[in-house]
Chains A and B, each alone.
Chain A
Amino acid sequence: MSKNIIIVGGGLAGLAAAIKVAEAGWHVDLFSLVPVKRSHSVCAQGGINSAKNLKGEGDHPDIHISDSLFGGEFLADQDLVKEMCYDGPAIIDLLDRMGVPFNRTDEGYLDFRRFGGTLHHRTAYAGATTGQQLMYALDEQVRRYEAEGKVDKYEYWEFLSAILDDDGVCRGITAMNLWDRSVHVFKAGAVCLATGGPGLVFGKSTNSVINTGAANGRVYQQGVHYANGEFIQVHPTSIPGADKLRLISESVRGEGGRVWVPKDPKDRRRPSDIPDSERDYFLERKYPRYGNLVPRDVATREIFAICVNEGRGVDGQNQVYLDITPERSGQPADVLERKLGGVFEIYRKFSGTDPLAEPMKIFPGVHYSMGGLWVSPKDENGQVKQMTNIPGLFAAGEADFQYHGANRLGANSLLSCIFGGFIAGPRMCEWASSHSAPPPESVYERELKRQTEINDRILAMTGGNENTFKIHQELGDAMTRSCTVVRENDDLVKLMAKIAELEERWHRININDTSKSVNQSFVWTRAVWDMIQLAKAIAKGALLRDECRGAHYKPAHDVEKPEKEKLGEATDTDAYQDYVRELAAANKTTYKVKPKSGKEVSPEFVEYIRQWVEREKKWNKTTIASWRPNAEPEMSFRDVSMTVEPPRPRIYK
Chain B
Amino acid sequence: MTSPNGNGHSAPEHVLLRIKRQKAPGEPPYWESFRVPYEPGMNVISALMKIRLNPVTAEGRATTPVTWDSGCLEEVCGACSMRINGIPRQSCTALVDKLEQPIVLEPFSKFPVLRDLMVDRTPMFDALKRIKAWVPLDGTYALGPGDKMAPELQQIRYKYSECMTCGCCLEACPQYNNRSSFIGASAIGQAYLFNEHPTGRNLKGDRLDVMMGPGGVVDCGNAQNCVRVCPKHIPLTDAIAAIGGQVTVHAIKKMLRF
A167 within 8 A of B: no
A93-B145, A97-B199 known; A209 vs B70 contact (CB < 8 Å): yes
Cα distance A595–B241 when bound, in Å? 67
Is A518 a contact partner of B53 (Cβ separation < 8 A)? Answer: no
A38-B71, A246-B74 known; A241 vs B41 contact (CB < 8 Å): yes
- Among the stretches A75-83, A135-143, A157-165, the one at the interface with B is A135-143
A103-B154, A350-B93, A512-B65 known; A43 vs B74 contact (CB < 8 Å): yes
| Residue interface mask A206-243, B partner, CB < 8 A = 1 | 00111000000000000000000000000000000111
Instruction: Choose among B25, B72, B148 the residue with the greatest number of A CB atoms under 10 Å from its CB.
Output: B72
A147 within 8 A of B: yes
Is A23 a contact partner of B140 (Cβ separation < 8 A)? Answer: yes
Is A127 a contact partner of B73 (Cβ separation < 8 A)? Answer: no
Nearest A residue to B116 via CB reads: A518
Question: Which residues from chain A contact B150 at a C-beta distance below 8 Å?
Answer: 104, 108
Cα distance A422–B140 when bound, in Å? 10
Is B55 a contact partner of A512 (Cβ separation < 8 A)? Answer: yes
- Among the stretches B43-51, B175-183, B213-221, the one at the interface with A is B43-51
A93-B144, A132-B162, A512-B65 known; A470 vs B72 contact (CB < 8 Å): no
A96-B145, A144-B132 known; A19 vs B65 contact (CB < 8 Å): no
Cα distance A466–B164 when bound, in Å? 37
| Residue interface mask A539-568, B partner, CB < 8 A = 1 | 000000000000000000000000000000
Is B53 a contact partner of A467 (Cβ separation < 8 A)? Answer: yes
Question: Which residues from chain A contact B74 at a C-beta distance below 8 Å?
Answer: 43, 244, 246-247, 346, 350
Closest Cβ of chain A to B29, distance in Å, is: 14
Cα distance A469–B53 when bound, in Å? 6
Cα distance A572–B114 when bound, in Å? 68
B110 within 8 A of A: no
Question: Which residues from chain B contact A101 at a C-beta distance below 8 Å?
Answer: 154, 157-158, 161
B125 within 8 A of A: yes
| Residue interface mask A509-536, B partner, CB < 8 A = 1 | 0001101111011000000000000000
Is A99 a contact partner of B194 (Cβ separation < 8 A)? Answer: yes
Is A521 a contact partner of B93 (Cβ separation < 8 A)? Answer: no
Is A42 a contact partner of B135 (Cβ separation < 8 A)? Answer: no
Cα distance A177–B121 when bound, in Å? 16
Is B53 a contact partner of A473 (Cβ separation < 8 A)? Answer: yes
Is B134 a contact partner of A103 (Cβ separation < 8 A)? Answer: no
Question: Which residues from chain A contact B115 at a C-beta distance below 8 Å?
Answer: 517-518
Nearest B residue to A87 via CB reads: B142
Question: Which residues from chain A contact B53 at a C-beta distance below 8 Å?
Answer: 467, 469-470, 473
Nearest A residue to B63 via CB reads: A512
Is A513 a contact partner of B65 (Cβ separation < 8 A)? Answer: yes
Cα distance A513–B194 when bound, in Å? 45
Closest Cβ of chain B to A364, distance in Å, is: 17
Cα distance A126–B71 when bound, in Å? 21
A105 within 8 A of B: yes
Is A99 a contact partner of B199 (Cβ separation < 8 A)? Answer: yes
Cα distance A96–B64 when bound, in Å? 47
B104 within 8 A of A: no
Cα distance A96–B24 when bound, in Å? 43
Cα distance A147–B116 when bound, in Å? 31
Number of residues from B at the complex interface, CB < 8 A: 68
A37-B78, A40-B72, A42-B76 known; A518 vs B114 contact (CB < 8 Å): yes
Closest Cβ of chain A to B105, distance in Å, is: 15
B143 within 8 A of A: yes
A490 within 8 A of B: no
| Residue interface mask B53-72, A partner, CB < 8 A = 1 | 11100000000110101111
Is B65 a contact partner of A520 (Cβ separation < 8 A)? Answer: yes
Nearest A residue to B52 via CB reads: A469
B228 within 8 A of A: no
Is B154 a contact partner of A37 (Cβ separation < 8 A)? Answer: no
Question: Which residues from chain A contact B43 at a C-beta distance below 8 Å?
Answer: 242-243, 350
B33 within 8 A of A: no
Cα distance A35–B164 when bound, in Å? 11
Question: Which B residues between 76 and 102 are near A, CB-CB below 8 angstroms?
Answer: 76-79, 92-93, 95
Cα distance A516–B197 when bound, in Å? 45
Closest Cβ of chain A to B145, distance in Å, is: 5
Question: Which residues from chain A contact B25 at a C-beta distance below 8 Å?
Answer: 517
Is A517 a contact partner of B154 (Cβ separation < 8 A)? Answer: no
Closest Cβ of chain A to B163, distance in Å, is: 8
Nearest A residue to B66 via CB reads: A520
A349 within 8 A of B: yes
Question: Which residues from chain B contact A42 at a C-beta distance below 8 Å?
Answer: 71-72, 76-77, 164
B146 within 8 A of A: yes
A23-B139, A126-B158 known; A97 vs B146 contact (CB < 8 Å): yes
Question: Which residues from chain B contact A349 at a C-beta distance below 8 Å?
Answer: 75, 93, 95
Nearest B residue to A210 via CB reads: B71
A42-B76, A103-B151, A521-B52 known; A350 vs B41 contact (CB < 8 Å): yes
A152 within 8 A of B: no
Question: Which residues from chain A contact B158 at a C-beta distance below 8 Å?
Answer: 101, 126-127, 133
Contact of B151 among A108, A126, A351, A517 (CB under 8 A): A108
Question: Which A residues between 95 and 141 are near B, CB-CB below 8 angstroms?
Answer: 96-99, 101-110, 126-127, 129, 132-133, 136-137, 140-141
Is B129 a contact partner of A147 (Cβ separation < 8 A)? Answer: yes
Is A34 a contact partner of B71 (Cβ separation < 8 A)? Answer: yes
B128 within 8 A of A: yes
Is B64 a contact partner of A512 (Cβ separation < 8 A)? Answer: yes
Contact of B134 among A108, A140, A517 (CB under 8 A): A140
- 20 residue pairs of the A-B complex, CB under 8 angstroms, read A35-B121, A38-B71, A38-B164, A40-B77, A101-B157, A104-B150, A140-B133, A143-B128, A241-B41, A241-B46, A242-B41, A242-B42, A243-B43, A243-B46, A243-B49, A338-B155, A467-B54, A469-B49, A513-B65, A518-B118
8 nearest A-B pairs in the assembled complex, by CB-CB distance: A108-B148, A517-B24, A140-B134, A96-B146, A243-B46, A518-B115, A101-B158, A38-B77
Having A127-B158, A140-B128, one finds 5 other A-B pairs with CB under 8 Å, namely: A97-B137, A97-B199, A104-B149, A136-B161, A143-B134
